[in-house]
Structure 1
Amino acid sequence: MHALTFDWGHTNYREDGSPSGRPIIFLNSLGTDLRMWDGLIAPLSAHRLVRLDNRGHGLSARSPQTPTIDDLAKDALALADHLEIEKAVFVGCSLGGLIVQEIARIAPERVEGVVLSNTAGRIGAREGWETRIAQVRESGLAAMTDAILERWFAPEFRAHPDCAIWATEVARCDREGYIGGCEVLAATDLEADLPRIAAPTLVIAGRHDGATLPEQVLGMAARIPGARTEMIETAGHLPAIETPDLVARHITDFLKEHALV
């Protein structure tokens, strides 16, 4: 693990794979950290794999002010600068997918490819996120863990022992960091920018996703020119955790299709 220091705090990150491979930068979802991508590291090891924790998640610091989607996108771009990565394929899930969309909007020249998993141009309504924030402040995340996991994971995975690991991680997530992520989601609407995404794009949806419904994900894909769509029938909101080999195969096929290997 490494840390990149900013005026607001620090971003935790790690590198895996081949230092000479094509750079792929991963952005995590609300309530998780860079470990959500662990299952993709071995099958994608021919590439230079960079993962970071969003502000207030994992080992990254909370920012003293409420973050914006622009802040989170610029954190990732600053890390790319620090690592001397001029261009990369950006992969994001849920909140991470919104961050990738913002990167494609503000710095299209840095983006060789886009992978958007279980995300949309707008995720949920502001009122819903404000309700979630109030619930977290009142009861804490531990009291909400079961409901979160039910939205996240397909029934088959919820019966798997690994699900208990993520139950623990959700309960331990930094409360203010989680609220900061909710505030970003409440404030962000990138729907109008979807048709302007020019980089090759892969969109991944999970049939059992209870957080970003499959029809929302597919609706987003329909607005991105030339986007390739993959529906994972056995996954929910976090296919990289539930079905990592299948996600890695879809990403590999996408990279080959666009000569990004």
Structure 2
Amino acid sequence: MNVDILFHKTYQHPTSKEWVVFVHGAGGSSSLWFKQIKDYRQHFNLLLIDLRGHGRSNRLLKNIISKNYSFQDVTTDILRVLDHLEIKSAHFVGMSLGTILVRNLAEMASERVNSMVLGGAITRLDIRSQVLVKAGDMCKHIIPYMWLYKLFAYVVMPQRNQKESRHLFIHEAKKLCQKEFKRWFKLAADVNPMMKYFREREISIPTLYLMGELDYMFIHPVKEMVAKHQSSWLLEIPNCGHVCNVERPQEFNQHSIEFIQKHCK
């Protein structure tokens, strides 16, 4: 494999020509989609990607990881995988910070995005989130990064029924090194300016926001944005928090697959 290509895994469907690309969030990996694969592969070709520094991509890209990251850089990584596999266009499913990458990809190469499913979408950091990020930024050279990551996991996913999600993300985050964590942490400062632009400039790509009703840090900004946009829909999953694909996989799979099927070419 070319050193500049992220680690990825594909599942080929015997007849479908439709591709679905899964983009995980910061600190995760493609393994966090394990509850989606069985249902999705019955209908589509699947592409699962480990973002730079995550999962099995943590040993790749040695020639570029010495510098800081931008959303542009990380999104370009995904486009390189599509080019490598000669996938002209696809449906994209993102989770948490991965939703920003999917939305950014739609901005950079809209012709390659047929539809978007954005789970636990981050569209704005509220005051609590900003305070958390600033405090973490001040302490990131002093406190071990896993302490910070565990704190973030508990703040974003505080409920008892989110225990599995917390443990999965903390387990995956252990594969990140301290330098890698700091690079991704710095991206948080770019979230609000970028998402302000995205809120003001709607694109016509069909977009489904799948949010847990208990995702208290991120659901309200999503509601505000969907109310203003013509090509976006919001579906709230009851008794569910931030990582809705793990907490409520049946509902997540059913609604997202139905949405994608409606927008197949």
Q: 1:203 to 1:18 in 2, by over 3 A?
A: same
Give the secondary structure class of the aligned counterpart of 2:91: strand
Match of 1:196 in 2: 202
**2:55 aligned with 1:58, yes or no?**
yes
1:87 aligned to 2:89?
yes
Which residues in structure 2 correspond to 1:126-205 (within 5 Å)? 128-153=132-157, 155-159=159-163, 164-188=167-191, 189-194=194-199, 195-205=201-211
Q: Provide the rounded CA distance (Å) in 1 between the counterparts of 2:255 and 2:89.
A: 21
Shift of 1:97: 0.5
Q: CA deviation at 1:169?
A: 2.8
Question: Structure 1 residue runs of 4+, over 4 Å off?
Answer: 124-128
**Alpha-carbon distance between aligned partners in 1 of 2:158 and 2:238, rounded to the nearest angstrom:** 9
Question: 5 Å matches for 1:66-85?
Answer: 66-85=68-87
Deviation at 1:71, TM superposition (A): 0.9
Amino acid at match of 2:99: G
- Residue 77 of structure 1 deviates from its aligned partner by 1.0
TM-superposed CA distance for 1:199, in Å, is 0.9
TM-score normalised according to structure 2 size = 0.84
Q: Unaligned 5+ residue runs, structure 2?
A: none
Aligned-residue sequence identity (percent) comes to: 22
**In the alignment, residue 240 of structure 1 is paired with which amino acid?**
N
Decide whether the 8 Å contact of 1:142 with 1:172 is kept in 2.
Answer: no
Considering only aligned residues, what root-mean-square deviation do their CA atoms show, in Å?
A: 2.4
- Alpha-carbon distance, 1:128 to partner: 4.4
Q: What is the aligned partner in structure 1 of residue 116 from structure 2?
A: 114
Whether the 8 Å contact between 1:92 and 1:100 is mirrored in structure 2 is yes
Which whole-Å deviations, capped at 9, do the CAs of 1:147-206 have from their partners, x for residues lacking one?
Answer: 33323436343455x754443333443322222222122123232234432111101111
Structure 1: any 5+ residue segments left out of the alignment? none
Task: Determine the C-alpha separation between the residues in 1 that align with 2:174 and 2:12.
Answer: 30
In 2, Cα distance between equivalents of 1:145 and 1:102 = 24
For 1:19 and 1:88, locate their aligned partners in 2 and report how far apart those are by CA, in whole Å.
17
Corresponding letter in the other structure for 2:208: L
| Partner-residue secondary structure (3-state), 2:214 | coil
The letter for the 2-side match of 1:109 is E
Distance, in Å, in 1 between the alignment partners of 2:239 and 2:204 is 30
Change in Cα spacing, 1:68 to 1:127, as seen in structure 2 (3 Å) is farther
What's the CA shift for 1:118? 1.6
Alpha carbons 1:27, 1:34 under 8 Å: kept? yes
Report the count of equivalent residues.
253
Residue type matched to 1:175 in 2?
A: Q
